[in-house]
Amino acid sequence: MDRRANRRSFIKNAGLVAAAAGGSAALAAPAIAQSAPEVKWRLTSSFPKSLDTIFGAAETISKRVSEVTDGKFQIQVFAAGEIVPGLQALDAAQAGTVECCHTASYYYVGKDPTFAFDTAIPFGLNARQQNAWILQGGGREVLEDFFKGYNVKAIAAGNTGAQMGGWFRKEINTPEDLKGLKFRVGGFAGKVLAKIGVVPQQIAGGDIYPALEKGTIDAAEWVGPYDDEKLGFNKVAPFYYYPGWWEGGPLLSLYTNLDAWNKLPKTYQSLLEAACADANQTMLAKYDAGNPAALKRLIAGGTKLRLFKRPILEACFKAANELYEETAASNPNFKKVYDAWKPFRDDQFAWFRVAETNFDNFTFSAAEKVK
């Protein structure tokens, strides 16, 4: 498909995508074609270029808005470290150093634990449920005032699906084995693990391998097989644990500086939301397509796949729920969002136990028997 055909197709479908994603009203092709102003933005990512799927979401957004506007709306994408370090992406958008950033909100729980809800909290929602919460379940609305306080607007723009539990130098068999462990883990999970003795480390993706190789940390989690293989963690830690209970469906978002957002023509705002919706869907599809083969390669190369044992999961689940209640009691921002999130989660879990989980459990098991 040539560039113009691709653009026409995207224009035709952008309104449907935006609507499905909770975005603005349908885009009208004539409105874009008649008077498209020149707009140039910069986007800083929290991720290195080598991670083509998670970094690639920002490139998808940039490509889409440029195609539809014949290059009049340009978003130049910068990898982590090119403008600011990966874990300072939100700060750059907030300050107006760049017009927008692509990052995971839970990197910023040090500012306020409420940030975690826009990405994932431990034992929370899977990818579909997180999209439902943010886009249709009131999540975006209840978080809007919170993000205004940081001078940004959040737009859903990617999801990795359920993640792995990470790479460990030694086997972890009991909760006691976690005590004193220096573990690279992002977001609210670090606070949960600290309650059972882990020493959490917040390290950007591109810096994890050298820290693990040098022994600065004892274990590290990132995303899943497709990315972890690229980063080479299997070369320095043999045990690969699952599941990543802290990230059942972590959402990535585009955070735009509020002043920059408000200056955008309404058509461009709608277009940007549609482009983010495209990135949101595409990222998850890419990970789902790429993870199975990558896991097979890792295991063939000697990786030792391990399931977190139930006593470990139960200890972490207990610690997580204690932390939620403690944080809600002391942080009004967190309580406001948690009080909206929890009943939504409970309803989602009840529904998924009816159809989804039973379908998955039976079909996966039955298919395994007839191989």
The token duo for 30 is 């004539």
CB contact at 8 A, 288 and 225:
no
* pLDDT at residue 187, rounded to an integer: 77
* pLDDT at residue 371, rounded to an integer: 77
Instruction: Kindly give, in sequence order, each residue whose CB lies less than 8 Å from that of residue 90, ignoring residues fewer than 6 positions away.
Output: 101, 103, 105, 107, 108, 150, 152, 255
**DSSP 8-state symbol, 101:** E
* pLDDT at residue 15, rounded to an integer: 47
**Helices 127-135 and 332-354, axial angle in degrees (round to 10):** 130
For the whole model, what pTM was predicted? 0.89
Report the C-alpha gap between 217 and 200 in whole angstroms: 9
Instruction: For residue range 92-136, list pLDDT tens digits in order.
Output: 999 999 999 999 999 999 999 999 999 999 999 999 999 999 999
* pLDDT at residue 17, rounded to an integer: 43
Rounded to 10 degrees, what is the CA torsion of 29, 31, 35, 41?
Answer: -70
Report the C-alpha gap between 183 and 203 in whole angstroms: 10
Report the C-alpha gap between 333 and 189 in whole angstroms: 19
What phi and psi, each to the nearest 5 degrees, are found at residue 40?
-125, 120
Taken in order 331, 333, 335, 338, the sign of the CA dihedral is: negative
Instruction: For residue range 47-102, list pLDDT tens digits in order.
Output: 999 999 999 999 999 999 999 999 999 999 999 999 999 999 999 999 999 999 99
* pLDDT at residue 32, rounded to an integer: 55
What phi and psi, each to the nearest 5 degrees, are found at residue 39?
-135, 130
Other Cβ atoms within 10 Å of 242 Cβ, number: 17
* pLDDT at residue 202, rounded to an integer: 87
Tokens 């083969």 belong to which residue? 293
Closest by Cα among 208, 225, 206 to 217: 208
- Displacement of CA 10 from its chain's centroid (Å): 24
What domains are there in the chain, each with its CATH number?
3-160+248-288 (3.40.190.170)
**pLDDT tens track of the chain, all 371 residues?**
444 454 545 554 454 444 444 444 344 444 555 568 999 999 999 999 999 999 999 999 999 999 999 999 999 999 999 999 999 999 999 999 999 999 999 999 999 999 999 999 999 999 999 999 999 999 999 999 999 999 999 999 999 999 999 999 999 999 999 999 999 997 799 999 999 999 999 888 888 999 999 999 999 999 999 999 999 999 999 999 999 999 999 999 999 999 999 999 999 999 999 999 999 999 999 999 999 999 999 999 999 999 999 999 999 999 999 999 999 999 999 999 999 999 999 999 999 999 999 999 999 999 999 87
* CB contact burial 74-94 (16+ within 10 A = b; e otherwise): ebebbbbbebbbbbbbbbbbb
